A and B are shown apart, each in its own frame.
Chain A
Amino acid sequence: MNMADKRVQDQELDALFAAARDDAAQAPSSDLMARVLADAEAMQPKPAAPVVRPQSRGGLVSGILSAIGGWPSLGGLAAATVAGVWIGFSATPTVLPDGLAGLVGETNSDYLAYLDTSYAYLEEDAQ
């Protein structure tokens, strides 16, 4: 075989390969496409469903607890409450010279003035 013959053969083969690439016979039928898609859908893993946490039996109390951050938060809240009460009681002699008794006793007509001097005019008006 001389070079010219070989070149012609290569060209013929290349033309045949190109024709094969465009050949409708090697295109899949719509039936095959449908079968493959049906397999794909049947074998596809299903998306994970969102996890629904079971309702706990604690109801309102546990709802409030979880809203504020659970038991550790409640501990902190209790400590802050106790501290507030203690500060309130221990500070009354400074704010109210007669202590709590002064608020509930007979001489309670002037207690506003002790709390805030801006209320002093009320006492003056009353007299």
Chain B
Amino acid sequence: MPFDAQDETGDDALLVLYANGDDRAARALTMRLTPRVFAQAFRMLGDRAEAEDVAQEALMRLWKIAPEWRQGEAKVSTWLYRVTANLCTDRLRKRRSVGIDEIPEPEDDAVGPAEALQDKARLDALQGALNALPDRQRQAVILRHIEGLGNPEIAEIMEISVEAVESLTARGKRALAVGLAGRKDELGYEHG
């Protein structure tokens, strides 16, 4: 069966195929899940190298648990988002214990047309404001507004109620707006 034909196959069915030794399933799961896990880790940590380590570790845990995975009990993506979130939280805690100077600044190595620079400056401003949020607010905002998940799934990932998710995302957005207010120049918006 060609790789494309597995696009319609669910994550949990692919995981069962993977556990049965199907190498096409290994490839399909890697292609499908790595971008999601990496994006989440990158937004949480604001650092590509650390996000790559977290993504690799999270997926390694999935490969390990595959033979015992029970179809229909949990969504693979939900499980993976939770593992990634926990790994990121651990990293953020370690950073704080090391010291605030160790926190990486958003990377600034792109050279390109003015428009691209402006986009990059806006995204760096967003990342800076995200980094300043408390961990749980940051996690909820990223899952809701960047990963585009629904509140019930976020509640499951974060193991809290839907109401708590709504409260976290609302507070997170307000804090972001305040954080970004001081970066109007980077955002390229006219002063109002």
A→B interface (CB under 8 Å): 5, 8-10, 12-14, 16-17, 19-21, 23, 25-29, 32-33, 35-37, 39-41, 43-48
Decide: A40 near B30, CB < 8 A? Known: A25-B123, A28-B35: yes
Q: How large is the interface on B (under 10, 10 to 19, 20 to 34, 35 or more residues)?
A: 35 or more
Task: Give the Cβ gap from B31 to chain A, nearest Cβ, in Å.
Answer: 7
B→A interface (CB under 8 Å): 18-23, 26-27, 29-31, 34-35, 38-39, 42-43, 48, 52, 55-56, 59-60, 63-64, 66-67, 107, 119, 122-123, 126, 145-146, 148, 173, 176-177, 180, 187, 189, 192
Compute how far the CA of A23 lies from the CA of B60 in the bound complex, rounded to whole angstroms.
Answer: 25
Q: Do the beta carbons of A26 and B42 come within 8 Å of each other? A: yes
Compute how far the CA of A46 lies from the CA of B20 in the bound complex, rounded to whole angstroms.
Answer: 7
Tell which of A14, A20, A44 touches B63, judged by Cβ atoms closer than 8 Å: A44
Decide: A39 near B35, CB < 8 A? Known: A13-B177, A25-B48, A33-B30: no
Compute how far the CA of A28 lies from the CA of B54 in the bound complex, rounded to whole angstroms.
Answer: 12
Q: Do the beta carbons of B34 and A32 come within 8 Å of each other? A: yes
Q: Do the beta carbons of A47 and B173 come within 8 Å of each other? A: no
Shortest 3 CB-CB distances between A and B: which pairs? A47-B21, A43-B63, A28-B38
